[in-house]
Amino acid sequence: MVKRQVPNPTEILELMKFKKFDPNGKRRRLSGALTVDDLRRIAKRRTPAAAFDYTDGAAEGEFSMTRSVQAFEDVEFHPAILNDVSHVDMTTQILGGSSALPFGIAPTGFTRLMQTEGEIAGAGAAGAAGIPFSLSTLGTTSIEDVKATNPHGRNWFQLYVMRQKEISYGLVERAAASGFDTLMFTVDTPVAGARLRDARNGFSIPPQLSPSTILNAIPRPWWWWDFLTTPKLEFASLSETGGTVGELLNAAMDPSIDYDDLAEIRALWPGKFVVKGVQTVEDAKKLADLGVDGIILSNHGGRQLDRAPVPFHLLPHVAREVGNDVEIILDTGIRNGADIVAALALGADFTLVGRAYLYGLMAGGREGVDRMIEILSDQIERTMKLIQVSSVAELNPSHVTQLSRLERLPAPEFTRSRPAQA
């Protein structure tokens, strides 16, 4: 029999301690975010649909993006036992320098449209965390202002080769003069992908208002207040800013770029040279033979060619072929620190996060980016401890199995001749 008694008010009060109310709404929101998905939900509530969908969406049916995220979910870890993990070292060496965490911030375009602090928030947060920050050619903060924001940190520049090549050459020279240590030569954007969410939302620079966009913005006055009371939104590296995303990209990008352009840009750049957008083993091997410093396995977040290869699926094959010859960076699909651990185990030297960064930015500006970095860092550390490895260097393929959801069929063996065009 359980002995019962009259409840003691003092004991009840000891059990019912209420959480102290924080009057700072932003701090309350961000402290309640425990995952990148939580930041995404906050971002969606606080950002007009056109700007949010530009970040959240991808090309056409969005199969590449969905598959890339799913690939990380289809992972099985294999933890060891009885290893001392009282201290875990998450630092890593990448492209001639150190990073306090095994991920950096990926280059993103139109960033100040997501939230007015834009690249300043990203560069500041990256510098504080000791990780690299990447600035896009389509960024909305200048090369020089990013350097001023992150003067002692690692800044990388992502380059599109444009039809007016002198513009690209000028950007390379400015990034070098500002002390950026790595150039990302991007090769997966000869033309713009068909981003249907943007087309349906009428997304453009500057924003084009319609009755639906105005109605969508009414419950988000804070975004409009920030947008209208801060400097004009424009590209920091391009002079033309009018039009849809597709129109801007198609007008600016050069679809004729080839290996000669790669060699020409590489000759101009004094720092580390990385090729972004590699999607086959064969291209990875060719670039390794050319002696580039690194390759970035990426399908552009699923925003270019839909049904493109999933970088995480491609990773172990590329690591097997060229992992000893070139540094391998992976992006696309990362939503959790465990994803980063899995990528490192299967051969990546480093990873980049794009959407996760922008979700944090939209959720709370600089503080939101800080929170995103904190979330991923905590998840990486916890996953490593549960796998029972004490450093990034210890991670290897024995720690991870990629589960198969989509099975590749054997390639057909035949040749077919087609008549030449008249």
pLDDT at 215: 76
12 has pLDDT over 80: no
Q: CB-based contacts of 134: which residues, under 8 Å, 6+ apart?
A: 104, 105, 106, 107, 155, 156, 157, 158, 184, 352
Helix axes 281-290, 311-322, angle to 10 degrees: 40
**From residue 200, how far is each of 151, 197, 213, 289 by CA, in Å?**
40, 5, 11, 43
Six-digit token string for 392: 């990034």
What's the CA angle centered on 354, arms 107 and 72, to 5 degrees?
140
pLDDT at 268: 95
> For 200-210, what is the mean pLDDT?
70
Sign of CA dihedral 203, 163, 107, 349: positive
pLDDT digits (tens, 9 = 90+) for 270-307: 999 999 999 999 999 999 999 999 999 999 999 999 99
Lowest mean pLDDT among 213-222, 260-269, 299-308: 213-222
pLDDT at 410: 79
153 has pLDDT over 70: yes
pLDDT at 339: 98
> For 47-75, what is the mean pLDDT?
94
Q: What's the pTM value of the predicted model, to 2 decimals?
A: 0.92
The pairing of beta strand 155-159 with beta strand 327-330: unpaired
> For 47-76, what is the mean pLDDT?
94
Taking the CA atoms of residue 372, residue 373, residue 378 and residue 384 in that order, the dihedral angle to the nearest 10 degrees is 120
pLDDT range class, residue 83, cuts 50, 70, 90: very high
202 has pLDDT over 60: yes
pLDDT digits (tens, 9 = 90+) for 19-38: 777 888 888 899 999 999 99
pLDDT at 209: 62
The CA distance from 178 to 305, in Å, is: 33
More confident residue, 104 or 228: 104
206 has pLDDT over 80: no
CB 104 within 8 A of CB 125: no
> For 89-115, what is the mean pLDDT?
95
Query: Residue 55: how many CB atoms within 10 A of its CB?
Result: 24
The Cβ-side half-sphere exposure at 264, using a 13 Å CA radius, reads 10
241 has pLDDT over 60: no
CB 55 within 8 A of CB 363: no
The CA distance from 199 to 245, in Å, is: 9
Query: Residue 394: how many CB atoms within 10 A of its CB?
Result: 17
The closest of 23, 55, 24, 54 to 39, measured between CA atoms, is 55
Q: In which residue are the tokens 């995404």 written?
A: 40
pLDDT at 222: 81
More confident residue, 415 or 173: 173
pLDDT at 238: 67
pLDDT at 43: 96
CB 210 within 8 A of CB 160: no
pLDDT range class, residue 414, cuts 50, 70, 90: confident
Lowest mean pLDDT among 132-146, 199-213, 260-274: 199-213
Report the percent of the chain where pLDDT is more than 70: 94
Element (H, E) at 384: helix 355-387
Catalytic residues: 300
Q: CB-based contacts of 24: which residues, under 8 Å, 6+ apart?
A: none
Displacement of CA 286 from its chain's centroid (Å): 25
Six-digit token string for 292: 């580039």
Six-digit token string for 286: 């060719």
The Cβ-side half-sphere exposure at 38, using a 13 Å CA radius, reads 14
pLDDT at 422: 55
Highest mean predicted confidence (pLDDT) among 173-177, 204-208, 416-420: 173-177
**From residue 268, how far is each of 157, 197, 208, 397 by CA, in Å?**
14, 37, 38, 37
**DSSP structural state of residue 106:** P
Report the percent of the chain where pLDDT is more than 90: 68
pLDDT at 249: 73
pLDDT range class, residue 269, cuts 50, 70, 90: very high
The CA distance from 19 to 312, in Å, is: 41
Q: Which parts of 178-322 fold into alpha helices (H)?
A: 196-201, 211-217, 221-228, 245-252, 259-268, 281-290, 311-322
User: CA Rg, the chain, in Å?
Assistant: 23
242 has pLDDT over 80: no
245 has pLDDT over 90: no
pLDDT at 405: 81
Length reported for the chain: 422
pLDDT at 417: 66
Highest mean predicted confidence (pLDDT) among 156-165, 204-213, 371-380: 371-380
pLDDT at 205: 62
The pairing of beta strand 133-136 with beta strand 155-159: parallel
